[in-house]
Structure 1
Amino acid sequence: MDPEHGGSGDQLLHLDVAVDEREPRRGILDLLSKLRPEWKTPHIQMKEPGCVLVRLYGRMTELYVNRDREVEMFQVFQAHGCGPEIYCSFQNGICYEFVRGNVLEDELLRQPSIYRLIAAEMGKIHSIQPKRGQPTEPQLWTKMSHFLTLMKSSITRNPAEQACTKR
């Protein structure tokens, strides 16, 4: 692993930082001061093109998203040239490479030159072989069932929310 850049080696850099989602700027600047100490805080601008993306995990999302598996998939995709480089994780999120792109409108998606490129990339992603011990069966229905079970138990525990959902 390249400690200077966080790297995408076997061992992901983990920083002991928590970013408050209600006031993220301070935490993100703290994170970046550790990840990129050469960057000067006054010159860091949020939503400026080309640097890093900081993803904050929402509260309790770990109940239905396996964060370790998510990070592992980032690393697998990046190793196969199908995704951004992941730089580090932190207490409640990850920091990864910003990849510039455009949202494809319906008209563009119908163009053979575009949909063929998409199909080729999807083929590349689907040809990636899982590591031994990783599930090879589709997980969509299992994940949806788990999510719906969580939602149902959340609603039945909170009568005020239950009243809101019945309207």
Structure 2
Amino acid sequence: MALKTFELLKGCETHEEIMKVLAAVAVDLGDVIDDVSVVEVNPLKGAMTNEVFEVNWPTKSDGHLRRVLVRLYGEGVEVFFDRDDEIQTFECMSKNGQGPRLLSRFTTGRVEEFIHARTLSAADLRDPEISSLIASKMKEFHNLHMPGAKKAQIWQRMRKWLNHAKSLCSQKDIKIFGLDNLDTEINSLRELLSDGYQEIGFCHNDLQYGNIMMDEETRSITLIDYEYSSYNPVAYDLANHFCEMAADYHSDTPHVLDYTKYPDLEERRRFIHTYLSSEGEKPSEGEVEQLVNVVEKYTLANHLFWGLWGLISNYVNTIDFDYKEYSRQRFQQYWLKKVILLP
């Protein structure tokens, strides 16, 4: 639903600040917002960390709509990542020709370039052609030279989140979710997964379909939303993408995960073969098989990571999403898969 006023943003203490920033952005783009009634604000669904809006106004030159994206930072989510680091990543991505441009910032959010491409759907991830495009884009992304130490960040981040989850959760939930034993699980998992294939790359770490956009004409893929991005084993990022195929965040029950939709072995092999081949390499069957196997084990780290994320989000985020049930499913999947993958 398009709103002719900024009703959606009025609950924010910085409403006036947002208006001033948007007016300044309009001027930078060669437009003028002299009447708030000409502005449209459309909430975009599917975001679980921030609130995201498409904002439109008529251009000064020909009256066509100018589109920008306004991102309001979720409450309490700074526990998950450093906002200054995330902004630095965003700006570096732009300089590398990746993602949208940063147009302006305000206290509780920012204004971004609106990418004229469509956000993928859950079903798109299963389309062989689109999946192949994503695989090639991931390889390109992993090879970016970005700020930060080129070493795995996942383990340190999980330990930090575990401590925070324990400080927030009731004793009942600590027991139900087995938080007192997770430190041992994280340590043993790190030891097991660090022995073998360990290529480190700059990883997106949250490659669900809503963070992937495609230009229908050129078929080019753009990855967006870098809050969780960091250097990590590339196998972890590939595993994350596979795990996200179980989700549909635009359904009536966006927190429910359906693991019958997890890609089968042939799908995973095809994706990883494309990934390894995308820059002119010719991987052997053995190389493909090795990465397929390592990626499958890294799904365990993904389940712990997002399980902890869900528990913390249940306490700090006000977005309408059943974070605790989502967390329960991720932890359940961890224990189910562990006995199979780490016998």
Give TM class, smaller chain.
0.5 to 0.7
Counting only pairs closer than 5 Å after superposition, residues 41-60 of structure 1 correspond to structure 2 as 41-47=36-42, 48=55, 51-60=67-76
Question: Is 1:89 the counterpart of 2:105 in the alignment?
Answer: yes
Distance 1:60 1:122 in 2: 29
Match of 2:84 among 48, 68, 78: 68
Q: Deviations over 1:74-128 (max 9, x none)?
A: 112222222111112221222211223132333x333332112111111111110
Contact 2:73–2:108 (8 Å) recurs in 1 = yes
TM-score scaled by structure 1?
0.68
Residue identity opposite 1:137 in structure 2: K
Q: Percent identity?
A: 26
Residue identity opposite 2:25 in structure 1: L
In structure 1, the partner of 2:136 is 120
Residue identity opposite 2:41 in structure 1: M
Question: Is 1:145 the counterpart of 2:159 in the alignment?
Answer: yes
Distance 1:151 1:22 in 2: 31
Change (3 A) 1:92 1:102: closer
In structure 2, the partner of 1:33 is 23
Contact 1:55–1:93 (8 Å) recurs in 2 = yes
Q: Give the total of aligned pairs.
A: 139
In structure 2, the partner of 1:15 is none
Residue segments in structure 1 that go unaligned for 5+ positions in a row: 1-19, 156-161
Contact 2:21–2:104 (8 Å) recurs in 1 = no
Change (3 A) 1:113 1:139: same
Question: Where is the helix percentage greater, Structure 1 or Structure 2?
Answer: 2
In structure 2, the partner of 1:136 is 150
Match of 1:104 among 105, 110, 121: 121
Residue segments in structure 2 that go unaligned for 5+ positions in a row: 1-7, 43-54, 57-65, 177-343
Q: Which runs of 4+ in 1 moved over 6 A?
A: none
Residue identity opposite 1:59 in structure 2: E
**Matched position secondary structure for 1:55:** strand
Contact 1:77–1:125 (8 Å) recurs in 2 = no
**Matched position secondary structure for 2:69:** strand
Give the aligned CA root-mean-square deviation in angstroms: 2.9
* Structure with bigger gyration radius: 2
How far the C-alpha of 1:21 sits from its partner, in A, is 6.7
Distance 1:76 1:112 in 2: 30
Contact 1:82–1:121 (8 Å) recurs in 2 = no
Contact 2:104–2:110 (8 Å) recurs in 1 = yes
TM-score scaled by structure 2?
0.36
